[in-house]
Amino acid sequence: MLTLYIENTGTVNGVTDYKYVVMTDAEKIAEGRIKGHKWSDGWRQLVKMIAEESHE
């Protein structure tokens, strides 16, 4: 099972920073931070940013 954990670490004026962890079953396969995500961009954009960040 693929699981994505996303934690809001701070919000100022509709712009949020997040920590994320990507797991497959019990194994951590990626983790990191996303800074400066605009709430108005929606959750799909956040997940896309995580996927792009994890791919590098």
pTM for this one? 0.86
Q: What is the mean pLDDT of the chain?
A: 94
Domain boundaries, position 33: 2-55
Cα gap 46→26, rounded to integer Å = 23
Helix, strand, or coil (residue 1): coil
Instruction: Characterize the bridge pairing of strands 27-38 and 2-12.
Output: unpaired
Query: What pLDDT, on a 0 to 100 scale, did the predictor assign at position 46?
Result: 96
How many domains, the chain?
1
Residue-wise pLDDT tens digits, 36-56: 999 999 999 999 999 998 775
- Residue 11 pLDDT more than 80? yes
Query: What pLDDT, on a 0 to 100 scale, did the predictor assign at position 45?
Result: 97
